[in-house]
Structures are given as structure tokens and as C-alpha cells.
């Protein structure tokens, strides 16, 4: 069993970006600038956004963090987005999800200019992904593709089961794994809460990508020997023995599943850091697109 080390791979990618940023600066070009909007104080979201800002510093990007109160109105948030759309200094920006219930996530996604949508959530960018046109791939699926690519994992002709059909991970992931690209050419089954006899699919799968947010959902008996498992889940579970008061659990029962795998991502240190590396890649791409 080989661990797919997202932390190391993400550091490799960030090192590559650092060199490119230094080249841009040496040529007197603009320093890439990423902005992030966060609404409210959700603990996990604050941690993720701070990690994104830290990654910007590491690669030499400029960053702007826009912190908004939990009770901001939808109109005021849309106005902030429009300001970033029109700010030439900002090359790309993201709105951290989830948003408070009184804000319509779809309206927000649609409001972000597709040229600055480095999260790849805008329908125009998702549509371009489906058509294999140049676009910003959604950060987590892009990170998973990078990880599979950099470990030279053969995907062509394989049976891939994606568990979970979220707009930001499961659905785009299922499309990417079926595309006619180096990482791709799988026969994909997208499973979800209404899937009957899930185990019948997972047992046959060569590659399983789990993005449910249900801790330790995928158990040893559900997978075959030699499977490649990508665990997108990262749930905080109360743990009084930890200084933080919680520990992080993936969607995979690691102790049972890992011994059966050819490759598996750990949690933490697997998909999470790759999401951030992808965001950096997309931001650099936004600058190059200009």
C-alpha cells in the first residue's frame, strides 16, 4: 500500500509556482493577487481560508482576505463581489462555502466573473470543463487529478466509483474521471444517497473517490484488494484528548481499508493540501490568461 502524500505533492506544486512567480516579477510583471471572501466564523472555514492565505504568502502571491459578518445581507455580499470583479489589482477570488442560510449560494456563484472564478464554480467554467475547453477546474477535483497524475496511477479503462454528488466535488469529479484525458478514460459510476446496494459497486471498483462528509463511511468489506482510494472527507469529531478539542476523520475507515489498497490518501495530509495547491495553480492561470 502506498500513501498518496498530498502534503508533499502540494509542496512540490507550490515550489514550482514560486519559481514562476519569481520569473514574472523579474520580468517586471504584476504579482498574482488572490482574494478570499469569508462570511461568518465557521471554525473549519476560517482554518481553510487562513491556509489559503498562507499558501499565497509561500508562493509569493499577494492576498486579500475579506471578512464579512454572518448577518451580512445577500445584496451587500453581491456588491462586494462586484467590487472584486471590477478591481484590476485582483486576478482571482473565491467565496468560501458554505454560506449562511439566508444567502443563495447559486446567486453568489453566478455573480463571480468567470475570468476571476479560480474556484471553477461558475456554470460557464463548469460547462467548459464538460466540453474539455480551457477553464478553471474546481479546486478539489483538480487536486485529485493532479495527485493521481503525479503518482502515475493508471486510470484508463478502470472502473471508478464516486460516492457523493455535491456540486463542488462529486459531480465534477465524475465528469473529469470520464474525460478523454491522461487522468480520465474511466468507466464512472456516480453514486449517492438513493443508490441501491452501494457495496455491489464499490466491491468491483478499481478506483473509489469518497466525498460524502460521513466519517468512516467506507469500510474494509466494501472494497476489493488493490483498489485506489481517494478520501475527500474531513469532518471534525469531538475529542477531549486533543488540545483543539477535536480530531479530523475522513470518509474512509482507514485501518480497515488501507491494507487492501494499492494507493490511498490519508486524512489529514491527502486531498486537503491538494485543494489549496490547485487554487494557487488556477490563480497563476488567471494571470496568464490576461
Contact (CB, 8 A) for 222 and 198: yes
Cα(208)–Cα(200) distance, integer angstroms? 13
| Using rule CB under 6 A, residue 96 touches ligand GUN | yes
Near ligand GUN by CB under 6 A, which window of 11-19, 53-61, 92-100, 215-223? 92-100
Interface characters, 119-138, with ligand GUN (x: CB under 6 A): x-------------------
Our CB check for ligand GUN shows the closer of 84 and 95 to be: 95
Tell me how far, at minimum, the Cβ of 236 lies from ligand GUN, in Å. Answer: 13
- Pick one of 13, 35, 77, 94: the residue that binds ligand GUN (CB under 6 A): 94
Report the C-alpha dihedral over residues 11, 231, 229, 7, rounded to 10 degrees.
Answer: 10
45 C-beta neighbours (distance < 10 Å), count: 16
Cα 43 to Cα 96, 102, 184, 234, 246, distances in angstroms: 12, 19, 35, 13, 11
Q: Which residues pair with 263 in a beta bridge?
A: 2, 228
Is 286 a binding residue for ligand GUN by CB under 6 A? The answer is no
Site membership for ligand GUN, residue 97 (CB under 6 A)? yes
**CB nearest ligand GUN: which residue?**
97
Could you tell me the maximum CA-CA distance found in the chain, to the nearest angstrom? 58
Which one of 275, 281, 284, 286 is in contact with ligand GUN (CB under 6 A)?
Answer: 275
Whether residue 88 lies in the annotated active site: no
Q: Which CB atom, from 99 or from 205, has the smaller least distance to ligand GUN?
A: 99
By CB under 6 A, how many residues form the interface with ligand GUN?
9
Contact characters 142-171, ligand GUN, x per CB under 6 A: --------------------------x---
CA 184 to mean position of chain CA atoms: 17
Active site residue 96: yes
Which residue stretch of 77-85, 95-103, 146-154, 193-201 sits at the interface with ligand GUN (rule: CB under 6 A)? 95-103
CA-to-CA distance for 112 and 256, rounded, in angstroms?
A: 42
Task: Round to whole Å and give the CA distance between 248 and 3.
Answer: 17
Does the annotation mark 75 as catalytic? no
- 31 phi and psi angles, rounded to 5 deg: -75, 130
Minimum CB–partner distance for residue 244 and ligand GUN (Å): 19
d(CA 82, CA 186): 39
CA distances to 82, 95, 96 from 111, in Å? 7, 11, 14
Q: Of 119, 206, 231, 251, which is the active-site residue?
A: 119
In the complex, least distance from residue 103 CB atom to ligand GUN, rounded to whole angstroms: 13
The active-site residue out of 96, 116, 117, 206 is 96
Residues of the shown chain interacting with ligand GUN in the complex, contacts defined by CB under 6 A: 94-97, 119, 139-140, 168, 275
Active site (catalytic) residues: 52, 96, 119
Amino acid at each position: 500500500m502506498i500513501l498518496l502524500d498530498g502534503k508533499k505533492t502540494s509542496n512540490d506544486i507550490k515550489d514550482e509556482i514560486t519559481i514562476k512567480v519569481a520569473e514574472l516579477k523579474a520580468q517586471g510583471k504584476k504579482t498574482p493577487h488572490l482574494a478570499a471572501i469569508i462570511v461568518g466564523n465557521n471554525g473549519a472555514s476560517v482554518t481553510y481560508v487562513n491556509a489559503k492565505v498562507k499558501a499565497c504568502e509561500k508562493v509569493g502571491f499577494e492576498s486579500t482576505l475579506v471578512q464579512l459578518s454572518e448577518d451580512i445581507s445577500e445584496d451587500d455580499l453581491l456588491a462586494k463581489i462586484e467590487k472584486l470583479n471590477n478591481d484590476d489589482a485582483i486576478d482571482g477570488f473565491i467565496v468560501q462555502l458554505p454560506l449562511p442560510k439566508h444567502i443563495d449560494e447559486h446567486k453568489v456563484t453566478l455573480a463571480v466573473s468567470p475570468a476571476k472564478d479560480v474556484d471553477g464554480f461558475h456554470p460557464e467554467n463548469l460547462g467548459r470543463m464538460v466540453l474539455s475547453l480551457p477553464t478553471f477546474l474546481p479546486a478539489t477535483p483538480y487536486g485529485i487529478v493532479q495527485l493521481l497524475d503525479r503518482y502515475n496511477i493508471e486510470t484508463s479503462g478502470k472502473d471508478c466509483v464516486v460516492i457523493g454528488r455535491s456540486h463542488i466535488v462529486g459531480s465534477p469529479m465524475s465528469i473529469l474521471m470520464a474525460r478523454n484525458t491522461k487522468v480520465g478514460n474511466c468507466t464512472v459510476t456516480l453514486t449517492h444517497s438513493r443508490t441501491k446496494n452501494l457495496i455491489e459497486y464499490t466491491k468491483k471498483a478499481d478506483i473509489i473517490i469518497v466525498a460524502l462528509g460521513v466519517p468512516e463511511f467506507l469500510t474494509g468489506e466494501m472494497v476489493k484488494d488493490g483498489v485506489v482510494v481517494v478520501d475527500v472527507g474531513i469532518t471534525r469529531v469531538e475529542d477531549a484528548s486533543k488540545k483543539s478539542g477535536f480530531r479530523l476523520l475522513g470518509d474512509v475507515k482507514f485501518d480497515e481499508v488501507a491494507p487492501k489498497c494499492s494507493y490511498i490518501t490519508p486524512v489529514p495530509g491527502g486531498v486537503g493540501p491538494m485543494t489549496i495547491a490547485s487554487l494557487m495553480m488556477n490563480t497563476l492561470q488567471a494571470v496568464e490568461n490576461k
